[in-house]
Amino acid sequence: MKKRSIEILVGLFVLLGLLALVFVALKAANLASFSNNATYVLTARFDNIGGLKVRAPVRSAGVVVGRVTSIVLDPKTYQGVVRLAIDERFRFPQDSAAKILTAGLLGDQYIGIEPGGADDDLAAGANIAQTQSAVVLENLIGQFLTGKAAEAGSAASEPGK
């Protein structure tokens, strides 16, 4: 009888461990949203979305206020159109700005919303007019190397140096 109760306890312990592992995996992959708050949709257009993904967080002042629900390419303007589901508890002024930011040096990308100072709030379905595209590390390195090459070329072509 005692052996059976130990087997049941071990089984429960293994089951709890597996449930904890699934919970952590879903949280790490941003696949599980354990919040049932009502949301409203905002749209933002970016020239370059970098590595932004669907389900990426939307943050304001470091606080998660929503999630990215879809990313599509506008065939007329060739801009990335990003739809954001924002928690109903958070309202942003009409002149707010959206930026694609990176968590850490090489971390995941997310949308950062900087509230403006307008009296009226963005309505559901509104477009965030002020946006800043993602900073792509490869482009920055290329610009740096191009600038250094141009400096070296101009220094070599100047007489007396």
For the chain (161 residues), the mean pLDDT of every run of 10, in chain order, is: 85 91 76 69 93 92 93 95 94 94 82 93 92 79 79 66 52
DSSP string, the chain: -HHHHHHHHHHHHHHHHHHHHHHHHHHHTT--------EEEEEEEES--TT--TT-EEEETTEEEEEEEEEEE-TTT--EEEEEEEETT---BTT-EEEEEESTTT--EEEEEE----SSBPPTT-EE-EEEPPPPHHHHHHHHHHHHHHHHHHHHHSTT-
pTM: predicted TM-score of the whole model, two decimal places: 0.68
pLDDT at residue 68, as a whole number: 94
pLDDT at residue 15, as a whole number: 92
pLDDT at residue 156, as a whole number: 63
pLDDT at residue 161, as a whole number: 52
Domain residue ranges in the chain: 1-32, 39-137
